[in-house]
Amino acid sequence: MNPQSSNLLYEGETLDDLIIGGYKLIQPRQGYRFSIDAVLLSHFPDLKKVKQVVELGSGNGVIPLLLVARSPAIRIIGIEIQEPMVKRAQRSLEYNCLQEQVKIIQGDLQAIEKYLPVASADLVLSNPPFWGRNEGHLSKNPEEACARHEIAMDLKGLIRATAYLLSPGGSFCLIHRAERLTDIINLCTAHRLLPVRLRTVHSFWQEEAKLILLEAQRRDQGRMEIMPSLVIYSKLGEYSDEINRFYYGGGDI
């Protein structure tokens, strides 16, 4: 913990224990706060050979903390367009003494070439906005609206930026609504990213999948692995054994 940590938390913010890795995250009391989606995505990629990660749409910076907890040697760059979120994520990094390992940059994915060189990432991750501009309820909170709806970042722009960033053989992992899977696969294929691993995510075992975890790679040939379904809750208010392992047992998907 940074000895000046008491100066890093501002009025209207909370300091939340992630449990995983013992890290803590600064979040607004009102507005966008991370959900279990970030935990699921952070445990999905294989990090064994990964040295450089880029996260697109970093929000408050929770995913870099969760990734470092899994693999302390990796380097991470996060790109986020909203300045308040960038500043908050940078303060969380300072609180956890990770400023040298993780960098959060304010930037627009539509101009990704301005911020990072081509083919510079072994792994690109994203927990992007799930809803189109005209879908669902648009929050009156600007941060939350931008994080949940495709206002500043859409699937087409996300996958174009990913294709620019990935080195040959590199992986792209994202979490998204299950009903968007066809759109995601079509866009990946159009940008020469081959879908190689898919996992459906269910709130309860008897319910249909609401989310998917997908990995695509920068390569030309291969088959897709359909993984066993991931179930979040064993019963109402109680996480499944697999989710509990993420928090308390160091388990990976």
The yes-or-no verdict on residue 212 having pLDDT over 70 is yes
Residues in contact with 20: Cβ distance below 8 Å, sequence separation at least 6, in sequence order: 39, 65, 66, 69, 246, 247
d(CA 230, CA 246): 12
Higher-confidence position of 85 and 136: 85
Where is pLDDT greater, at 220 or 77? 77
CA dist 211 and 203 (Å) reads: 9
Least confident of 27-41, 54-68, 123-137, 188-202: 123-137
Tokens 């990090």 sit on residue: 47
Confidence band for 32, pLDDT divided at 50, 70 and 90:
confident
Average pLDDT of the chain is 93
| pLDDT for position 253 | 64
The least confident of 3-17, 185-199, 206-220 is 3-17
Output the pLDDT for position 250. 58
> What's the total number of domains in the chain?
1
With a CB cutoff of 8 Å and minimum separation 6, the contacts of 253 are 40, 43, 44, 199, 213, 227, 230, 242
pLDDT value, residue 5: 61
Range with the lowest mean pLDDT among 139-143, 158-162, 195-199, 242-246? 139-143
User: Does residue 3 carry a pLDDT above 70?
Assistant: no
Domain that holds residue 206: 5-249
CATH number for 58: 3.40.50.150
Query: What is the mean predicted confidence (pLDDT) over 27-39?
Result: 93
pLDDT score of 1 = 55
The predicted model scores a pTM of 0.93
Q: Report phi then psi at 235, rounded to 5.
A: -160, 170
133-178 pLDDT, tens digit per residue, is 888 788 888 888 888 888 888 999 999 999 999 999 999 999 999 9
Among residues 246, 61, 153, the alpha carbon closest in space to that of 53 is found at 61
